Amino acid sequence: MQRRLFLHTTAAAATTLALPSFAQAWPSRPIKLVVPFPPGSSPDIIGRLLAEPLGHALGQTVIVDNKPGAGGNVGTGAVAKADPDGYTFLFTIQGPLVTAPLLSANLNYDPQKDLAPVTLVATSPNVLVVDPKLGANTLADFVRIAKERRGQLNYGSVGNGSAAHLAMELFKARAGLDIVHVPYQGFPQVVNAILAGQVQAGFMVPGIAMGQVRAGKLKALGVTTLGRSGSLPDLPSFVEQGYADFEAISWQAVLAPAGTPKPIIERVSRELIRIIKSDDVRGKILGQYFSAAGTAPEALAGLMKSERERWAKVIKAAGVKPE
């Protein structure tokens, strides 16, 4: 009996020793979800929607850690250089992952080498809004007016290489427009500039635009998803209005430092996909004008690659220079 017990205990110990050390106790302490944008921003709001249920699923608190700066590059770089021990994750938008490597001269991380995809969380269209005083009620109206006033109209964005900037550059190329780019520090400043008549148009995320649209202070002309957006079903897409395959979406995703053990990434991905697709969280994401996604890590990696290739062509064609 004692010999059998000894053999069983020895075998169990050997099995335990054979397991990777991370698997024996992970997670044994709180997990940090870094959001490289300030509190109250869209990534912060949606990141916090996921943190609590993820913590319940993993049996540990998930702490949202805001690290804003340089359009998300500061916090993203911090995660890229963090220990790949399964206790640090990143919740970010596409900018630091796709366009920053193409336009930032002093970037201290490489998203392809330093970060491991976990899941795509949500996607959203951009909305083209204009000053109602411009007299454009449709996209065709806007194109006609812009061509009549070639070089006289301005559009605002949240900075060089931002999604709002590149979406307009893509549209300018497709429609043959000459409109002057005016960068601002944030979307509230772009909205104020349109209201003040300093610029006449801009692409922006619906969460910023739609309050002013409903108040009649801005006019929305279309969404940049291939079809109509589930969060804005009454707005026609650019495709519907004659611009085949025109797409310029915003998206949010979770990643980890490269080298994070694959079983941990797979576990977190599974839990997040379940949470994202739950009725409660999906509804709350829709309330932020995003559509819930929830994909395997490989699908997010594919999206990052295709987006990088597509926007690199736009940047080159538009002559957008690194800062």
How confident is the model at residue 295, as a pLDDT? Answer: 98
Q: What is the mean pLDDT of residues 70-76?
A: 92
- Sorting pLDDT into bands at 50, 70 and 90, what band is 9? very low
Q: What is the mean pLDDT of residues 189-216?
A: 94
pTM of the model: 0.87
Question: Partners of 93 in the beta sheet?
Answer: 252
* Chain segment 121-178, per-residue pLDDT in tens: 999 999 999 999 999 999 999 999 999 999 999 999 988 888 899 999 999 999 999 9
* Domains of the chain, CATH where assigned: 28-123+249-318 (3.40.190.150), 127-223 (3.40.190.10)
Q: What is the mean pLDDT of residues 25-30?
A: 96
For the chain, first and last CA: distance in Å?
Answer: 74
- Sorting pLDDT into bands at 50, 70 and 90, what band is 21? low
Give yes or no for residue 6 having a pLDDT over 70: no
How confident is the model at residue 24, as a pLDDT? Answer: 62
- Sorting pLDDT into bands at 50, 70 and 90, what band is 30? very high
Q: What is the mean pLDDT of residues 69-81?
A: 94
Helices (H), the chain: 2-18, 21-25, 42-58, 73-80, 95-98, 100-103, 111-114, 139-148, 163-175, 187-195, 206-214, 262-277, 279-287, 297-318
- Sorting pLDDT into bands at 50, 70 and 90, what band is 20? low
Give yes or no for residue 1 having a pLDDT over 90: no
**3-state secondary structure at position 105:** coil
* Chain segment 250-295, per-residue pLDDT in tens: 999 999 999 999 999 999 999 999 999 999 999 999 999 999 999 9
How confident is the model at residue 208, as a pLDDT? Answer: 87
- Sorting pLDDT into bands at 50, 70 and 90, what band is 247? very high
How confident is the model at residue 323, as a pLDDT? Answer: 63
Contact by Cβ (8 Å): 229, 291: yes
How confident is the model at residue 45, as a pLDDT? Answer: 94
Residue recorded with tokens 């702490």: 63
Q: Which residues, in sequence order, are CB contacts of 162 under 8 Å at separation 6+? A: 71, 95, 99, 183
* Three-state helix/strand/coil letters over 5-70: HHHHHHHHHHHHHHCCHHHHHCCCCCEEEEECCCCCCHHHHHHHHHHHHHHHHHCCCEEEEECCCH
Distance CA 181, CA 191 (A): 14
How confident is the model at residue 160, as a pLDDT? Answer: 85
